[in-house]
Amino acid sequence: MSDPARVTRDADLRGRNTFGVAARAPFLFEVADATRLPETLDRPELAGRTPLIIGGGSNLLFASDPAVPVLALTGREIITIDEGDERVRVRADAGVEWHAFVMHTLALGLGGLENLALIPGTVGASPIQNIGAYGVEVRELVDSVEAFEPATGTLHRLDRDACAFAYRDSLFKQAPERFIVTAVEFSLSRAPVLRLDYAGLRDELYANGCTAPTARGVADAVIAIRRRKLPDPSVLGNAGSFFKNPIVPAALAEALAAEYPTLPMFRGNGPDTRKLSAAWLIDSQGWKGHRDGDAGVAPSHALVLVNHGDASGSQLLDLARRIADSVRQRYGVALEPEPRVIGAKW
Ligand code: FAD
Ligand code: EPU
């Protein structure tokens, strides 16, 4: 039988994180067939430790080298499992590239994922922080998540409710070493209800002369907006939004709204909370376009930290801490990083 994993010793991770910061792992294991994970996890190089799972590295900041080996799932199979009249279930391996998957489902005539076009990374990472954009979160389309639990050697099939999805959060994000997501099943629609309410989306769609929007048209509009707003990691290293939009008590939000009427505010996670725009809070403190050597803030978006070339992960983390301090001092609001920080505590 073939080797269950491709193994690289002293692996260079610079090309495997979209910040493009230098980092090395003692070992990198690349596993194509998830059913052979148990053999790989038993390898002596791991010495019983759980490896750091890496997808496209677009939501990771290496503040220092990972102390443990790194493991990537590289399986890329996509299967259409159940052809119903209205809904179709599509199962994709963890290693499938997310944007390619979205475009594949649209080409099959299936809608649901169109607002999530052009998010970097893999299918396997999509449930980790419940990726979201342009008014849609992936939890709305997830039917179930297949996840291997190294501690028990069990392969679970978790339904949507079991995943404890919330804004940029899930069971998997809360316990990052507990599960390895091996595949995700999505429930997609042959006749999707298009979601056009996110600010600017409808305008973008109709500005191009569209009269009868389709799911593919929505994806194209989302792609166009994203290309204007967000730096392309292959040109300027970044991990998308560096901070989550903070969810605060409604009383604090109302006091801030009275003082700063232009501060954007959204529904929180219940009647007593509101979500604030982290980008606005940071922008108002003058950080947009700021640069300390190669660590900076994108000129096009205050929420995106960027690596202009040779910034280290710890320099980016230091800048992030100073940004969060300035927001806390001015507004009394704590910002939390969205990417997983490896090798340092926030
Ligand atoms: P990685 O960065 O490799 O990993 C992220 C986390 O998931 C890590 O904790 C890792 O250990 C864990 N993980 C990865 N794969 C697995 C697995 N198979 N099993 C268990 N754990 C795993 N995010 C949004 O939500 N919305 C956006 O609009 C958005 N826009 C972005 C734009 C840009 C330009 C960039 C660079 C990033 C953006 N992101 C966005 C963040 C990022 O793309 C997503 O979080 C994405 O899902 C990360 O996928 P990845 O494969 O790169 O994960
Ligand atoms: N804004 C500023 N300054 C800026 C940019 C934005 O003040 O430089 C204000 C504007 O008022 C704007 C508001 O912030 O209306 C919201 O901006 P945007 O629409 O860009 O959304 P965001 O809240 O900054 C979130 C997600 C993105 C996602 C977009 C679109 C988070 C942390 N970020 O950004 O996700 O693509 O909405 O839905 O929730 C990511 O998670 O990595 C990510 C890129």
Domain ranges within the chain, ordered by starting residue? 6-73, 78-189, 237-342
Catalytic residue status for 274: no
Catalytic residue status for 202: no
Check if the beta carbon of residue 74 is closer than 8 Å to that of residue 95: yes
Bridge partner residues of 79 (DSSP): 91
The alpha carbon of 284 and the centre of ligand 1 are apart by a number of angstroms equal to 27
Q: Determine which residue's CA is closest to atom 15 belonging to ligand 2.
A: 264
- As a CATH number, domain 78-189 is 3.30.465.10
| CATH top-level class of 6-73 | alpha beta
Global confidence as pTM: 0.98
pLDDT along the chain (346 residues), means of 10: 91 98 98 96 92 98 97 98 88 98 98 98 98 98 98 97 98 97 97 95 88 94 97 98 98 97 94 97 98 97 98 98 98 98 96
| CATH top-level class of 237-342 | alpha beta
Check if the beta carbon of residue 66 is closer than 8 Å to that of residue 52: yes
- Catalytic-labelled residue, pool 168, 274, 284, 312: 168
- Catalytic-labelled residue, pool 137, 185, 204, 338: 338
CA 265 to chain centre: 22
Residues in the ligand 1 pocket, defined by CB under 6 Å: 18, 52-60, 73, 94, 119-122, 124-126, 128-129, 131-133, 172, 176, 179-181, 230, 233, 238-240, 340
CA 45 to chain centre: 29
* SS3 at position 31: strand
Amino acid of residue 308:
H
Please, which residues have CB within 8 angstroms of residue 248's CB and are 6 or more apart in sequence? 268, 273, 274, 275, 276, 333
Specify burial of residue 172 (Cβ count, 10 A radius: 0-12, 13-18, 19+). buried
| Alpha carbons 161 and 33: distance in angstroms, whole number | 27
